Amino acid sequence: MTGQEGSEYDRLFYPFLFAGGNASAEEVLAQVRHSTREKCRTVVALRRQTLEQYGDIMVAAATAMASAIRSGATLFAFGNGGSTTDAQDLVVDLMNPPLPDCRPVPALALTNDIAVVTAVANDVGFDNVFSRQLIAFAHPGDIAVGISTSGNSNNVLVAFEQAKKQGLLTVGLAGYDGGKMAHSRTVDFCITAPSADVPRIQEAQATAYHALLEAIFTLLRAEHTILTKEQHP
Amino acid sequence: MRATTTTETDLQALMQARFDRTIAVAEAFFAREDERIAQACWAMARRFHRGGRLLACGNGGCATDAQHVAVEFVHPVIVGKRALPALALTNDSALISALSTGGSSGVAFARQFSVLAAPQDIAMGFSPDGHCPNVLEALWVAGSKGLLTLALVGADGGPMATAGFDFCFVVPDTDPFVVQETHETLYHVLWELVHVFFEHEGLLT
């Protein structure tokens, strides 16, 4: 790569690539070390900004989610690509909580069954792969969590529309400016990691949903304690 | 009963503490490990240059990390980055359950390295505390076949920290969420910066 080729991103993050000439191993390693530290600084700042801007919404979302779970909700999680793995991670953390003294919560990732995903995508369209499963599985009072770094993934937005029709609580995790998700009336709580850097968005979103989980488990534990005391005065 | 009531202020404090903890751990980790991260990127780039593939594994939440790092390499979100071969060994529920019948779940990853892996490949194993016997066994099999071995672990690293893998990155925290979030930045950085070495062909042989 030479001269003026490459994206703005590349020029921003890898300026030495456009300097021309052959860099030595030491020079390239030094640049990679520098980039590593820069990326850490970026995600640290983004995490701080996400909590500052969306802390109140996260508290409200966790409270609503814990309340729905106490009433018997199942949580459905979905997203594309890396966001799929975050959806699956959220489900694992609910079904098999890694924190002490947490009761398992019923949850299902809508990306696991490749037979269903490919069947719907092939027969109807990729926009419907999550909404179709909500039609099959979801009940009023359940929870839908959709993850999209752009906030504009069509299949996630379509699933939120379907979820609202069926009376679900809807929670979105987005990046950039929140995209369509931030303005959709079908999303009750939208938590946005305000950045255009996709890896950093995902890393900040991971902290956000982990914080949501800890808050939810704390609320469920408190309620459990209250019930126990009332039953055994 | 009042003592068990969780208030909005409690939840705000809990979230602040969680964000503060993950930020402090990440800052210390990347300040300390930048040199080894750069070396790992270079080693991985050389493997890819020889036709190697990344094969990743882990249990539970770590399985999703294996799948996440794989999709980053295969379908780079940054336009212009080349697609590189990467596979999570956690995807095929039919195969995993086949290898886990009779309670022998420990072989599910090791067997895949044994059958599927080539010497020029890269093995990446995740564990929140370094105590996952099936991941340890898998990386040991991989290393004995000549693969580059990377372990991403947490807490004190457990037996995986002393197993002699090429790279073992230990995030020294006992909170599994904090460990995972730091791992996520780590494998994103490894993926982003492996590509830097492709711009310097002379360093790949």
Q: Is residue A50 part of a domain?
A: no
Tens place of pLDDT for every residue, chain A, 233 residues? 333 445 566 566 655 555 555 789 999 999 999 999 999 999 999 999 999 999 999 999 999 999 999 999 999 999 999 999 999 999 999 999 999 889 999 999 999 999 999 999 999 999 999 999 999 999 999 999 999 999 999 999 999 999 999 999 999 999 999 999 999 999 999 999 999 999 999 999 999 999 999 999 999 998 766 555 555 44
Whether B188 contacts chain A with CB within 8 A = yes
Whether B8 contacts chain A with CB within 8 A = yes
Are residues B30 and A40, on separate chains, in Cβ contact within 8 Å? yes
C-beta of residue A165 within 8 angstroms of C-beta of residue A144: no
User: Cα–Cα distances in Å, from B13 out to A88, A142, B10, B161?
Assistant: 27, 27, 5, 34
Are residues B75 and A85, on separate chains, in Cβ contact within 8 Å? no
- Counting the structural domains of chain A, the total is 1
Side chain identity at residue A147, one-letter code: I
Cα distance from A152 to chain B (closest Cα, Å)? 15
pTM of the model: 0.91
For residue B69, the domain's CATH number is 3.40.50.10490
Check residue B175 and report its DSSP letter. -
Sign (positive/negative) of CA torsion B66, B68, B74, B78? negative
Whether B83 contacts chain A with CB within 8 A = no
Q: Is residue A172 part of a domain?
A: yes
Q: How many residues in chain A?
A: 233
Segments forming the whole domain that contains residue B180: 48-203
Nearest CA in chain A to B129: A98
Cα distance from A85 to chain B (closest Cα, Å)? 5
Q: Is residue A205 part of a domain?
A: yes
Determine the pLDDT at residue A184: 97
Nearest CA in chain B to A149: B77
Q: Is residue A219 part of a domain?
A: yes
End-to-end CA distance of chain A, in Å?
Answer: 74
Q: Is residue B68 part of a domain?
A: yes
pLDDT tens digit string along B118-170? 999 999 999 999 999 999 999 999 999 999 999 999 999 999 999 999 999 99
Determine the pLDDT at residue A23: 83
Q: Is residue A115 part of a domain?
A: yes
Q: Is residue B126 part of a domain?
A: yes
Are residues B188 and A199, on separate chains, in Cβ contact within 8 Å? yes
Map residue A169 onto helix, strand or coil: strand
Q: Is residue B178 part of a domain?
A: yes
Q: Is residue A2 part of a domain?
A: no
pLDDT band at B13 (very low <50, low <70, confident <90, very high): very high
Q: Is residue B15 part of a domain?
A: no
Residues in chain A with CB shorter than 8 Å from the CB of B43 are none
User: Helix H segments across B50-103?
Assistant: 61-74, 93-99
Are residues A44 and B23, on separate chains, in Cβ contact within 8 Å? yes
pLDDT tens digit string along B161-202? 999 999 999 999 999 999 999 999 999 999 999 999 998 988
Are residues B15 and A58, on separate chains, in Cβ contact within 8 Å? yes
Q: Is residue A147 part of a domain?
A: yes
Map residue B149 onto helix, strand or coil: strand
For residue A77, the domain's CATH number is 3.40.50.10490
Segments forming the whole domain that contains residue A82: 60-225
Residues in chain A with CB shorter than 8 Å from the CB of B39 are 29
Whether B4 contacts chain A with CB within 8 A = yes
Q: Is residue A5 part of a domain?
A: no
Are residues A29 and B42, on separate chains, in Cβ contact within 8 Å? yes
Q: Which of A28, A39, A210 is facing B181, going by the closest CB pair? A: A210
Are residues A92 and B64, on separate chains, in Cβ contact within 8 Å? yes
pLDDT tens digit string along B19-36? 999 999 999 999 999 999
- Counting the structural domains of chain B, the total is 1
